[in-house]
Amino acid sequence: MQLDKERIKSDFERKLISLFAEDIKDASRLHKYVALGEIIKEYTFENWLKSNKKYIKGDVKQIYYFSMEFLIGRLLENNLINLGIRDLVAEALDDLGLSLEELEMEERDAGLGNGGLGRLAACFLDSMASLGISGHGNGIRYKYGLFEQKIVNGYQVEVPDNWLKDGYVWEVRRADRAVIVNFGGNVRFDIVDGRLKAIHENYESVLAVPYDVPVVGYGNNVVNTLRLWSAEPVGSEFDFSSFSMGDYARAMEYKYSVESITSVLYPDDRTEKGRMLRLKQEYFFVSAGVQSIVRTYKKKGKPIKHFAKYCAIHINDTHPALAIPELMRILIDEENLTWEEAWDITVNTMAYTNHTIMAEALEKWSVDMFKSLLPRIWTIVEEINRRFCQELVEKYKDDWKRIDEMLIIKDGFVKMANLAIVGSHSVNGVAKLHTKILKEQELKLFNEYYTGKFNNKTNGITHRRWLLDSNPKLARLLNETIGDGWIKNPNQLIEFKKFAKDKSIQQKFEAVKQSNKIELSRFIKNRYGINVDPDSIFDIQAKRLHGYKRQLLNALHILDLYNRLKENRNLDIYPRTFIFSAKAFPGYVLAKEIIKFINTLANKINNDEDIDDKIKVVFLENYGVSLAEKIIPCANVSEQISTASKEASGTGNMKFMMNGAITIGTLDGANVEIKEAVGDENIVIFGMTADEVIELYKNGSYKSLELYYSDERIKRVIDQLMNGYLDVPGSEFMNIYNHLITNNDEFFVLKDFYAYADAQMKIDNLFRDKSKWNEMAIINVASSGIFSSDNTIKRYAEDIWGIDV
Ligand SMILES: *Cc1c(COP(=O)(O)O)cnc(C)c1O
């Protein structure tokens, strides 16, 4: 498509009229954004159509990435850059007296995810499209995204995220491609044409309507699809008979119960709430997705037996694991294949990514609920389990202890991880350390049984969003220094390393960082009235709030630092701004108390004139993709301080590194690989190792109370939590106290306290040598290319999906 400024201007003005009957003078900023978004979306349509047509005709294997979450953020800037028309559009708008940046702010974040897992799915979509892979997303169009966080009097308050209120520019509703998903009822077996057939009856049907979002590749004319499903009443089943009898309430009840399936995102990424609605959500989007994939495949006119050759389904954690029995159902009940044929296709189609080793986060469903909600799927899972059990007995004879642990159905529960492992040809962890722990500990028995099924695929982030889009000044410096080849091939970032010691590049790098920090300082001043010094060290911890991520360690260290400053006004520390941003699960009492603690601390410290502004504490509310894009480019220090063994990979760590922050971190998740990449001298590592943590859990010898009594600095901060020192009643932080002392400090916050304090001192010292610090930062940027999700996706493609890139 040939685009020039004049065409963009006239398209834009015409769109304003056709949508709203307004001209530029009358239209609100929102309307201008909508009109702009609509024309940009239309610019993707020609290539979108081409990509779709190519599939029906061609022989290219299609990859379907199933994920309960896609944490997309905004799309306008991203799409403009990937289409290669960002500057052209900015100039066109400028001619019309409009600012692209201002219009971009009108877009609401699509926050259809909780954190890392959902953001990973979004990064993968960008990389698949940009690498020219036919890879598509399959998920849920939640009416409400992750809650919006407001901080009121230091407390987190949750506000519903009604993100669709003004419509969503980037989607296309495709009612003609809707499918039906059935729940409940009963199953009986009958002989039909000499074959045993399952007959599912008396179910309730729900209409699954797809909303497609184009996923634009970078500079390659590829447009893939993110398909998000919305639940609606089935036309004929909207109970008009009861409606006409005057039972309006009953009719509305059905409508409401159906729509509730896709109304809210569960605001929790680590533990299962065990709610029927959640299971309904999972089956809903998986069934709709698999049905539509099979339907599209059949349009190609190829035999169903070759399905796995042309389609791969990847399941992001166990939430979509019902794709396994659902594909079995379709192949057996609808395509009339035998069990063995269907199983062979299913296992070859499916691959599973494990995201956690935390036992409490492993999904399981009660058999009673499963059976009543999904009776046909239940009979299939039962049969998968029966056959698997038979195999195990053949191999392990009467080693029941081993067999019990591997079964899919056990003690009245369906274990989703076991189902996912048995039904997939590949199981991957998300960082080397995580995969090692999976293979040697959590899933050891499975790894012994299925040699070769387990593999590692370290997570990644798209360098286009997390560097090119979000840090344009650093991107420009890179282009000037090493050329722009890194945008297509992120491995070229390593060229930047040659300039690490170059004084003029160091200065330019520092100027970029400084200018980003000044911008953030202004934002903080405007929004919170807090003066922060852009010359101070910007030390940032931004991620979900969780015990294992140890924001509490960071906060207690700040309190200790404050104590030492109060004791000694001449204490020589480099001025530092500690920035936090984190949402807590609404029912997670400890996490919410930690937010209140951080804000209380901030209030006390920021208003204390004794300490000469040497430290400042800022909590930025409502962490999400857009805020992350704003703050990560400003970091000098990246806090990645989880209890070793707990953070499967982390991806925030990679984003900060890519923007030239120095990591202070534990040897956990991908931090281990960041250390390998940058070298020991360009990262600050502290604390217990994963082996030590696991050993200490096993032998139970840790006693936090002993630490409390034996160490003055630790005792002082704990006492200050409880004795009113922070100008709030001690009861305010009761749960933190109980967590650390009464319940023995599950995440070793106190145990790692001094190691962390020493590491922070090391940071303080390093920062004083500006040239050395800039050199370290440049090495971090230069070494971050291997963490581009382009690399991750290439490895998935070659090792798991069996396609060439
Ligand atoms: C990258 C990202 C995360 C994941 O951060 P971790 O530090 O890996 O936990 C969470 N939320 C948002 C908005 C992100 O962009």
Residue 757 CB less than 6 A away from ligand 1: no
* DSSP states along 667-730: S-TTHHHHHHHH-GGGSEE-S--HHHHHHHHHH----HHHHHHH-HHHHHHHHHHHSSTTSS-G
Residue 652 CB less than 6 A away from ligand 1: yes
Residue 145 CB less than 6 A away from ligand 1: no
For ligand 1, atom 5: residue with the closest CA = 652
For ligand 1, atom 8: residue with the closest CA = 650
d(CA 772, CA 269): 39
| Candidate from 117, 543, 551 with most ligand 1 atoms within 8 A of CB, to mutate | 543
Apex CA 241: angle with CA 237 and CA 247, to 5°?
Answer: 110
Which atom of ligand 1 is the closest one to the Cα of 625?
13
Spans in the chain with pLDDT lower than 70: 1, 236-246, 269-274
Residue 137 CB less than 6 A away from ligand 1: no
Tell me the pLDDT tens digit for each residue of 744-775: 999 999 999 999 999 999 999 999 999 999 99
Q: What is the pLDDT of residue 359?
A: 75
Separation of 118 CA from ligand 1 center, angstroms? 9
Q: What is the pLDDT of residue 54?
A: 82
Interstrand relation of 615-619 and 145-152 (parallel, antiparallel or unpaired): unpaired
| Candidate from 112, 358, 585, 651 with most ligand 1 atoms within 8 A of CB, to mutate | 651
Which atom of ligand 1 is the closest one to the Cα of 651?
8
* Exposure of 307 in the CB half-sphere (CA atoms within 13 A): 28
Q: What is the pLDDT of residue 252?
A: 82
For ligand 1, atom 10: residue with the closest CA = 115
Residue 233 CB less than 6 A away from ligand 1: no
Q: What is the pLDDT of residue 238?
A: 54
Q: What is the pLDDT of residue 194?
A: 87
Reading the block at residue 387, the tokens are: 């056959």
Residue 650 CB less than 6 A away from ligand 1: yes
Which atom of ligand 1 is the closest one to the Cα of 461?
1
Q: What is the pLDDT of residue 239?
A: 54
Radius of gyration, CA atoms only, the chain: 27
Catalytic residues: 355, 543-544, 549, 651, 655
Residue 37 CB less than 6 A away from ligand 1: no
Give the chain's domains with CATH numbers: 1-57+81-98 (no CATH), 58-73+109-424 (3.40.50.2000), 463-687+751-792 (3.40.50.2000)
Q: What is the pLDDT of residue 358?
A: 77
Interstrand relation of 662-665 and 637-640 (parallel, antiparallel or unpaired): parallel
Separation of 354 CA from ligand 1 center, angstroms? 17
